[in-house]
Amino acid sequence: MNFEAFDGSYVSRLRAGDASTEQHFIGYFTELITLKLRSRLRAPEVIEDLKQETFSRAFALIRSEGGVRNPERLGPLVNSICNNVLMEQYRASGKVEALDETAAEQITETRPDALSMAISHDTRDLVREVLAKLKRRDRDLLRAVFLEERDKDRVCDEMGVDREYLRVLLHRAKGAFRELYSRRTGERH
């Protein structure tokens, strides 16, 4: 996704209904909103409904006169709208905000959607290359945590590492993936 600055011009194009700007706006915030909702809710249909509601309100506000007072803060505005939508959902369902780690652990999608299946073919080679350079224990650790979705504390304890080790492992693997990706996309251009 190409980076676009959120500024007055961007908001004006959104208000005018510019298709490519709308597409960028939806593409940029869909993943963020989905991750945010998935960290707090379980039911996929509720997550989808709340995501749509967030976008609906965001567009309504953007298109209203004086709705966006500070275009550079468009991101926090969308976050705030999503928070309001969430609070209403909690009140409607009579539940206290779900903040336990169990819900938060569902943050990464386990079912591939159409877009991720389309891009995974290109990224699969890069990820395979990153994984091949890891030590076996580190691959086993990633498998236990992200594929088998086992309890992280237990997995770390069994492998004789701590949570900080797991964080650093993920940080390094992600960094290696990003480096490979930018090198390959740079080569193509």
Partner 1 sequence: MNHQDALQEMAVERYLLGELSGEAMDRFEEHLFDCPLCVADLRAGTTFINAARGELRGVGEPESVRESSFEWVSRLFRPSFLAPALAACLLVIGVESFILLPGLRREVAQVETPSVLNNLVLANAGARGDVTVEIAAPLHGAFLLSVDIPGRSGFSSYLLSLYSPLGAMVWQTKILPQQASDTVLIHVPTDITKAGLNTLLVQGLSSGLSGVEGSGGKLEDLARYKFQLNVSK
Contacts with partner 1, residue ranges (CB under 8 A): 1, 3, 28-29, 31-32, 35-36, 39, 73, 75-76, 78-79, 83, 99-101, 104-110, 112, 116, 119-120, 123-124, 126-128, 130-131, 133, 135-137, 139-140, 142-147, 152, 155, 158-161, 163-168, 170-171, 173-174, 177-178, 181
Which residue's CB is nearer to partner 1, number 52 or number 83? 83
Which residue's CB is nearer to partner 1, number 65 or number 136? 136
Residue-wise burial string across 60-69, b where 16 or more C-beta atoms lie within 10 A, e elsewhere: eebeeeeebe
- Per DSSP, 73 falls in state G
Which residue's CB is nearer to partner 1, number 17 or number 75? 75
Query: Closest distance between partner 1 and the C-beta of residue 8, in Å?
Result: 17
Query: Closest distance between partner 1 and the C-beta of residue 151, in Å?
Result: 11
Query: Closest distance between partner 1 and the C-beta of residue 60, in Å?
Result: 18
Which residue's CB is nearer to partner 1, number 3 or number 65? 3
Which residue's CB is nearer to partner 1, number 61 or number 126? 126
Please list the alpha-helical segments (H only) found in the chain.
Answer: 8-15, 19-38, 44-63, 74-93, 101-104, 114-132, 136-142, 152-159, 163-188
Which DSSP string do the residues of 92-136 spell out, in sequence order?
HHT-----SHHHHGGGS-SS--HHHHHHHHHHHHHHHHHHHTS-H
Whether 77 contacts 85, CB under 8 Å: no
Whole-angstrom Cα Rg for the chain: 20
Query: Closest distance between partner 1 and the C-beta of residue 43, in Å?
Result: 18
Query: Closest distance between partner 1 and the C-beta of residue 178, in Å?
Result: 5
CA–CA distance, 62 with 71 (Å, rounded to integer)? 10
